[in-house]
Amino acid sequence: MDTTTRSPDRTAGGRYPTSVPTTSPSAGPATDQGAALSPVLDLVVPVYNEERGLERTVRTTRAFLDSFPYRTRLTIADNASTDATLSIARRLADELPDVQVLHLDAKGRGRALHTAWLGSDAAVLAYMDVDMSTDLSALAPLVAPLVSGHSQLAIGTRLARGSQVARGPKRELISRSYNLLLRGSLAVRFSDAQCGFKAIRADAARELLPLVADTGWFFDTELLVLAERAGLRIHEVPVDWVDDPDSRVDIVATAMADLRGIARLLRDLNAGRIPLQDVRAHLHLDPPPGSAVPGGADGGLLGQLLRFAVVGVASTAAYALLYLMLSAPLGGQTANVVALALTAVANTAANRAFTFGIRGRRRALVHQGQGLAVFALAWAITAGSLALLHTLVPTASHTLELAVLVAANLGATVLRFLLLRGWVFGARRGTPSATTSGSAAPVSCPAAPAVATASTEGVRPS
């Protein structure tokens, strides 16, 4: 089947609409026979200009899916390819059973998955990368807990024990650093956000996808974070994974987009703009432990350290900018005091909400008072370093002053963290445990028909 659709428009608030208009062949009113022929699993392969490897991937994957005990579908989601990808996909869909083509007029893996998954009639929705970096032997373990109702979402992971991964040190470092950043900034518990091998139950997808704003590579991370915050059970499967040397992913552009996505997601979660309580209600889930704190959680010492570091870097940058602006009119010492005072108030508020997960006005003034005491200590350290510099180098330039003050400020950060953690916010911290909600109902899995009497939605049945 070839389905051509326009990319779903996003609302003014950056969210997708709950329904995605598509155009597809209609087989008339639904019948019991049509319902029985609906696939249990719909595996989506997003593609963009993949004319060289598409046919091999589709034929190999379709043959592998034929071994499943229930009906499966393979969907090729073409993201506005400019080469022969679409024509190859259409030829394969005409030739092979239960292969369909979805064509979008705009790029973006997230856009393709959002459209394909919401338009599918399958009970379980999955996707894999076209390069087949992940061994297909992990597909059945990925899907099984969703079919049984044990979990609502499943991911392949390259970073768990049991995974067999072959890739260069550069990509290994980038992957581990990104997932460490997620653990520190968003307090996530899943181990691998970007492995291109995931599955989700259709009922969960219908609730979560309208809340996912990203249309590109950050789509996976955003989906997982929202699922975890909503209380969905996420199953992880160690995979065998081989790096694709022909990967055309722009690492720098993708990293910048991911950082912007993390910042946006943090802002939206902390502001309570994402209605995760509706997802829990519709899926009959209990809130995950620790979710009484709307925007975040403790995440343990490592999570606190990483989130404190993020706040500290932002505060240091703000301090440096303020000092440069004020040092000429006010002088070095006065500029230091003013810059530290302004950033101290913002730093305490940010660490209170972001690093240690404390909300509400209760004890807010007390915390600010204690934060100012910590600031006084930090000021003593930085002022002492500045005085020492002027003693040793009376004609020190503003640039040298700034370098010394930034170094002293960073040195005082360790002491500041210990005081904030053990004294200012120590009595109010909580540590949430892993997200494990109740199970869902198992999926009914009628066996794939040996002989089909009619086509369903234009797809050739097995």
Out of 78, 220, 258, 268, which one is annotated catalytic? 220
Give the residue-averaged pLDDT of 86-112: 96
Q: Is 258 a catalytic residue?
A: no
For residue 30, the model assigns a pLDDT of: 34
CA distance 227 to 339: 40
CA distance 376 to 372: 6
Mean pLDDT value across the chain: 81
Backbone angles phi, psi at 116, to 5 degrees: -65, -45
User: For residue range 359-402, what is the model confidence (pLDDT) as tens digits?
Assistant: 677 778 888 888 888 778 877 887 888 888 889 998 888 888 88
User: For residue range 22-78, what is the model confidence (pLDDT) as tens digits?
Assistant: 333 333 333 344 445 899 999 999 999 999 999 999 999 999 999 999 999 999 999
Q: Rounded to two decimals, what is the model's pTM?
A: 0.65
Greater confidence, 92 or 299? 92
Q: Is 208:113 a contact under the CB 8 Å cutoff?
A: no
Judge whether residue 292 has pLDDT over 60: no
Which residue type occupies 64? F
Which DSSP helix (H) or strand (E) runs through 137? Answer: none
CA distance 460 to 1: 8
* 126 strand-pairing partners: 43, 199
For residue 36, the model assigns a pLDDT of: 53
Give me the sheet containing 72-79, strands edge to edge: 2-5, 99-104, 72-79, 41-47, 124-128, 197-201, 153-157, 234-238
User: For residue range 401-430, what is the model confidence (pLDDT) as tens digits?
Assistant: 888 888 887 777 777 777 777 677 764 433
Tell me the torsion sign for CA atoms 384, 386, 387, 393. Answer: positive
What domains, with CATH codes, occur in the chain?
2-283 (3.90.550.10), 300-428 (no CATH)
